[in-house]
Structure 1
Amino acid sequence: MPRIPYQPADLAEPKELVDAIRKRRGGNLLNLDRMLLQSAPFARGWNAFLGEVRTGLELSPKLRELAMCVVAVLNGAAYEFQHHAPEFIKAGGTAQQVEAMQRSDTLGHDFSLFDSIERTAILLTIEMTRKIEVSDATFAAVRAALPNEQQVVELVGVIATYNMVSRFLVALGVEPE
């Protein structure tokens, strides 16, 4: 049960904002959108920022979605995982990898289903999410794994962004559709 009521699914105002969110979502408002629309300025900024994070980065969609899924698991954000696990598979991930991510012990111990770049991204995600501070060794591994500094910054940014998303979802009790 959400801690604050969602805005109605048929919300029409503020028209420009609601239309922009519906356009990005393929016509519908998700429960997340309906919660965000409690604050038009917040929803406007979120829509623009997350739209860029989802579609405007050079970082591979597979690594982006992997990081989003790992953050979701670590933070107990079922809503986030439900939305991003299918995107991870569409980007080249496997159902076995999705299952492995859902086992919290796997995130700490068994990376065998993931390639070396994915393992490095998982390690960075774990450190950023659980400890905030990233070890020099992990950061060096990320720099070595990715082709350029832009992608390093983008991976760090995705992890930070989806920690924000998961915390918003969990704190407000946003439910999966």
Structure 2
Amino acid sequence: MNAPRIPYLPANLAEPAALVSAIRARRGGALLELDRMLLHSPALASGWNAFLGEVRSGLALDPKLRELAMCVVAVLNGAEYEFVHHAPVYLAAGGTQAQLDAMRDPERASGNTALFDATERAALALTVEMTRSIRVEDGTFAAVRDQLGEQQTVELVGVIAAYNMVSRFLVALGVTPG
């Protein structure tokens, strides 16, 4: 196991009490390694908890598509911690193990008509383009918008953008699965 670049705060951290309580409540009681890194900056941890809490549970976007995007961002950016935490959520949201395995090669998965429907393939292509080159081709964007409509397209773009932020934070600080 690689050590993080900055030591994690203790798992039994109690202060700042309101913030630690809010994070624990969102996480089901425990502080993850990510939280224990974020809490080095209470202001960052507070905003992160509120923002990512909404991204995780406040959107109209299908949870399976949300988690698909999160897992693919993790693969593309080498953020295994992110993948390990989101893969079970993807499966719980209706994804299959075969789909999850295929996502380890996102470019190929985006053309896989046997495992992914048109909406999933469009989401895969969007995730790859946003993560790899930032700019999205008109055809890719149109395919997503045709499948999802405006609100859910905006939400999917937001999920991909947010989890690129998450993966970059994890990788830069050396947060790995523990």
TM-score computed with the length of structure 1 as normaliser: 0.96
Give, as a single letter, the amino acid of the residue that structure 2 aligns with 1:12: A
Distance 1:111 1:171, change over 3 A: farther
Give, as a single letter, the amino acid of the residue that structure 1 aligns with 2:150: E
In structure 1, the residue matched to 2:161 is 160
Counterpart among 74, 77, 94 of residue 76 in structure 2: 74
Query: What does the per-residue CA deviation read over 1:40-87, in whole Å, with 9 as the maximum and x for residues that have no partner?
Result: 000000000000000000000000000000100000110000001111
Moved more, 102-111 or 31-40: 102-111
Structure 1, unaligned runs of 5 or more:
none
Taking the aligned partners of 1:93 and 1:108, their CA distance within structure 2 comes to 15
In structure 1, the residue matched to 2:43 is 41
In structure 1, the residue matched to 2:93 is 91
Taking the aligned partners of 1:19 and 1:54, their CA distance within structure 2 comes to 18
Return the offset for 1:112. Answer: 3.2
Taking the aligned partners of 2:158 and 2:95, their CA distance within structure 1 comes to 21
Taking the aligned partners of 2:147 and 2:76, their CA distance within structure 1 comes to 23
Distance 1:133 1:172, change over 3 A: same
In structure 1, the residue matched to 2:120 is 118
Taking the aligned partners of 1:26 and 1:13, their CA distance within structure 2 comes to 18
Query: What does the per-residue CA deviation read over 1:93-142, in whole Å, with 9 as the maximum and x for residues that have no partner?
Result: 00001111123563465453111100000000000000100011111111
Taking the aligned partners of 1:103 and 1:163, their CA distance within structure 2 comes to 17
Distance 1:64 1:108, change over 3 A: closer
In structure 2, the residue matched to 1:174 is 175
Moved more, 97-106 or 127-136: 97-106
Does the aligned pair in 1 maintain the 2:4–2:173 contact within 8 Å?
yes
Distance 1:105 1:118, change over 3 A: closer
Which segments of structure 1 move beyond 2 Å, counting only runs of 4 or more? 103-112
Structure 2, unaligned runs of 5 or more:
none
Q: In percent, how many aligned pairs have the same letter?
A: 69
Taking the aligned partners of 1:172 and 1:108, their CA distance within structure 2 comes to 30
Query: What does the per-residue CA deviation read over 1:149-175, in whole Å, with 9 as the maximum and x for residues that have no partner?
Result: 110100000000000000000000002
Taking the aligned partners of 2:29 and 2:134, their CA distance within structure 1 comes to 36
In structure 2, the residue matched to 1:59 is 61
Distance 1:175 1:43, change over 3 A: same
In structure 1, the residue matched to 2:18 is 16
